[in-house]
Copies of this chain bind each other. A is one copy, B any other.
């Protein structure tokens, strides 16, 4: 893998999709998989899949396919999931709880390790094994726990303020679930996870009535 290669965002977004399916195959003890099988399962063109994976080296073998375990290892390396990445979450509401429950799925060294909320009824409560901290402790805990990614699950009007605090605390990337657009300095990466986008784009594919 050449880490200097510039890979398009669309490809980077597909790698976790491959990874999820490969992990399912691995759990079922499947050893190899063809780009045809991957394409059928993931509703992608097999040629597209081969091209995506070829960015990172020659993983597949003609007529045999990809070694599942090896491909998992490679994609985890490429996505930097072979290192521990600590994540902080702000907003201990229903969505915050739901996301903390995902921790169990993270065999990939990426974990929510700290939860914050400013509401007195939330501070000090437990979500799974995580204690909810007040926002005043964000900067200190981000530093101490070397947290690199922040997740925002507060209501839209509070999202920008939380983003600012994440930026000051020194996180490198933000995943924003609030249904609003937040502004951060250019050197930070922000992904918006807005389920309305998936839902509204589904509507396009409904039959005309």
Contact = CB atoms under 8 A, between A and B. Distances in A.
Contacts of A20: 179-181, 194, 196-197
Interface stretch (A9-17, A60-68, A118-126): A9-17
A118 B181 CA distance: 36
Interface centre among A16, A97, A102, A208 (most CB of B within 10 A): A16
Contacts of A13: 197, 201
Contact of A198 (B172, B191, B202, B205): B191
Interface string A7-39: 101101101110111001000000000000000
Interface in A129-171: 148-149, 151
Contacts of A48: none
A173 interface: yes
Interface centre among A24, A93, A202, A204 (most CB of B within 10 A): A202
A81 interface: yes
A98 B102 contact: no
A99 B195 contact: yes
A203 B110 contact: yes
A8 to B, nearest CB: 11
A130 to B, nearest CB: 14
Contacts of A81: 200, 203
B102 A42 contact: no
Contacts of A2: none
Interface of A: 3, 7, 9-10, 12-13, 15-17, 19-21, 24, 41-42, 78-81, 83, 85, 87, 93-95, 97-99, 101-102, 105-106, 108, 110, 148-149, 151, 172-173, 175, 177, 179-181, 189, 191-209
12 contacts: A10-B10, A13-B201, A15-B204, A20-B181, A20-B197, A24-B180, A79-B200, A95-B98, A149-B206, A172-B206, A189-B206, A193-B195
Given A16-B201, A80-B204, A149-B199, 17 more contacts: A12-B205, A13-B197, A13-B201, A16-B194, A20-B196, A80-B206, A80-B208, A81-B203, A85-B203, A94-B97, A108-B200, A173-B202, A173-B205, A175-B198, A175-B202, A189-B206, A191-B201
